[in-house]
Structure 1
Amino acid sequence: MPDEAGAMRVVAAMSGGVDSAVAAARAVDAGHDVTGVHLALSRNPRSYRSGARGCCSIEDAGDARRAADALGIAFYVWDMSEEFADHVVDDFVAEYAAGRTPNPCLRCNESIKFAAVLDRALALGFDAVVTGHYADLRTAPDGTIEMHRAVDAAKDQSYVLGVLTQDQLAHSMFPLGGSVKSDVRIEAERRGLQVATKPDSHDICFIPDGDNAAWLTEKLGPRPGEIVDEQGAVVGSHDGAYAFTIGQRRGLRLGVPADDGRPRFVLDIEPVSGTVTVGARESLTVDRLECIKPLWCGSPPVSLHATVQLRAHGAEHRARVRVAEGAVDVELTDPAEGIAPGQACVIYDGTRVVGSATIARTG
């Protein structure tokens, strides 16, 4: 635990990108005893994204090591490939096969970075894990740790951290929560870190070329089915319903145009029959969410007026949230479009993250 001066033994999770490098540097500046760790998420790193994208490639591991050397801290590679495959990759495939739309980054934070990594760090005698996520941690008057949105709204990552529990937050450090990305890059350059100008990562790390549909087809094989309109008339066909997501407009390859000539969107995916239903954009609007598997950053609420975020970089929606018997019912004051089962609903009270749940049904 922290010594009398507040210094701690911490693991800095270093992805090979600029954010995690600067976060580690700030932890060193704060007087902590920092050990850099890079996560090996694949036994064959070339099977994941290659190039300087800041997450899981061989180049990223080298960038992380060079950053640790520049900071003068110890550096290790932890093999998390088995855990990553079980909890993130396999979950991603299973969710799409079931007609749902998962968020693998959120699942990685829940199961890998703040579960497997944190558990290992604590077992080894470390006090906390430092990451380059953009979120702000504050200590409430009652001593609990609150997670708030980052200062840089464009980089805020509180949505993908909404799965963290109070115990995990108490052993986490996010040094970049009060910074904007441009300043972080300037700081990295000033410190002589080679990753200062490295591009951000946007794609799913375990899909090398970013082609989700082709990758899922390779994993699941062809599963032909029909595309129908809201009246049930067949308007096209496909090789696998897992290649679609609710709200999708492009790549539908419909053989029959809409009567009014307007674009059509994916409204529903039926995984058993493989039927994909398309229709007008207005039919995507929902104002009710039924959510399951809630995870709370602090004490579970019973009922509250809040805002919810339904995509990683989506808008906030005003909502009434009710919690009962492990289920979360959300009534949206501000309706949303294109919301798919499997997505995360992250609940906010102002800037504070209350918790998250998985969307099971919309209405």
Structure 2
Amino acid sequence: MAKVELEHVWKIYEGKVEAVKDATFTIEDKEFVVLLGPSGCGKTTTLRMIAGLEEITRGTLKIDGKVMNDVEPKDRDIAMVFQNYALYPHMTVYDNMAFGLKLRKFPKNEIEKRVKEAAKILGIEELLDRKPRQLSGGQRQRVAVGRAIVRNPKVFLFDEPLSNLDAKLRVQMRSELKKLHHRLEATIVYVTHDQIEAMTMADKIIVMKDGVIQQVGTPNEIYNKPANTFVAGFIGSPAMNFIDSKIIKDNGLWIKSDGLKLKIPKQFEELLEQYIDKEVIFGIRPENIYDKMFAMAPSEGENTASAQVDVVEPLGSETILHLIAGNDKFVAVVDPKTQAKEEQIIDVVFDMNAMHIFDKETGKAVL
């Protein structure tokens, strides 16, 4: 397998549309890396530049230490799995999987060996004589992956491969692709807008917005230490709460907003000294706000607030509460045993050790 390096890569289309701006990152050998972001953020364009399907405007792409900017796609030793599977409808599953090897003039016995091995790995041995129209979406996806596996390429590229599948099948295919990665010890670059896919599958996530890389890190780093409000809001469901606030000094430091006054833990005071009496964005994830009756965090007056329940969403394993305090609106994910009812006033506890503070002007994380 291989290491993939992008150094100051740009993609500028005619009309001066900057689809990818100054992308620099490294995908290590055998790493599963996810390019994550909303539609139109440049993630698929980046993938297509790695594949050679889009020309790089400027910058350098290296695979296995060799510059690939002007190398034809067929000579890059990569295999790509497309969103729409891209199977030949008139060919059997076997012929679809064997097609690339036949083009490369592989011996017949080697083709048969590789196709059967891939079919066994993917559990599609009994489908080899069928045509794509006779297959379900999940089976077609496996065939598309199998066609990539038989090539034994240095790098696998996946472009939103699960987006056409139903929710249950997506969960199943996520775990299968993860197992496949470990089995093949492959270098994989995977594009998705689905943060759950990214969080569950990736060794490393590259978050993009408007063609610009916002943050590169492990799923844990991206979730717990987001670089800015965009990353913080994009990762997590329900999304992180953002509340316009001010940091004030009053026997310690406090977060003060229209409806909240919460004590900032001592370990954060030094980092936030420069923001005293300044406006900031207070961020906290819904799972770090508790119904006081079932609080998982220590409950004191300094981290507790009263709020009106606007909407209750019971999900069985948890309950989502939409809350209002003054003009502040926020969401809490609480114990399903909560007795909270709409329009009721309840006390909620904020786990302030899990708080985030962002600069009001730049949106960058301060804490």
- With normalisation by structure 2, the TM-score equals 0.26
**Structure having the higher Rg:** 2
